[in-house]
Amino acid sequence: MQEYLAPIYLWLKAGHIIFVIFWMAGLFMLPRFFVYHQEAEAGSAEEAIWAEREQKLLKIILLPSIIIVWLLGLALMSATGAHLQGWFHAKLLFVLLLSGYHGYMASYAKKLARGERPLEGKKLRLLNEVPGIAAAIIVILVVVRPF
């Protein structure tokens, strides 16, 4: 597989980085949308607008981005043999955790759309920090390759 992907390695890498940026932007925006959504009066037109924005963000930006990030990431892994290195295992763990966070946020959007508000605004603001922390750790693992 490596010999087939080697000629397009830089394109795979560029595409992976581009879609990671899109994915991360969406993951930063979504909890902020949730805060505004929860601050809107229940049953109001404003609440409905926030629910619609959240669904658009999830379907137009986040879902395609996570799929492309995973596909290109797996192609890069195959092209470079990264799966044989310790730093990659740690990176994969954090990407899996970030993917789980994405899924949790998508499920929270559905709860909000149904009128449920299980988390306080303060907790949503704290959850907004998760993608930044994960991104910092992932970048350090990929660039520094500490093990």
What is the Cα–Cα distance from 20 to 10, expressed in whole angstroms? 15
Where in the chain are the domains? 2-144
102 is in an annotated binding site: no
Sign of CA dihedral 15, 20, 25, 31: positive
111 is in an annotated binding site: no
Query: Quick one: three-class SS letters along 34-57?
Result: HHHHHHCCCCCHHHHHHHHHHHHH
pLDDT of residue 1: 62
pLDDT of residue 28: 96
Instruction: Kindly list the averaged pLDDT for each block of 10 residues, start to end, along the chain of length 147.
Output: 81 98 98 95 96 98 98 95 96 98 98 95 93 98 96
What is the Cα–Cα distance from 17 to 37, expressed in whole angstroms? 30
pLDDT of residue 135: 97
What is the Cα–Cα distance from 82 to 80, expressed in whole angstroms? 5
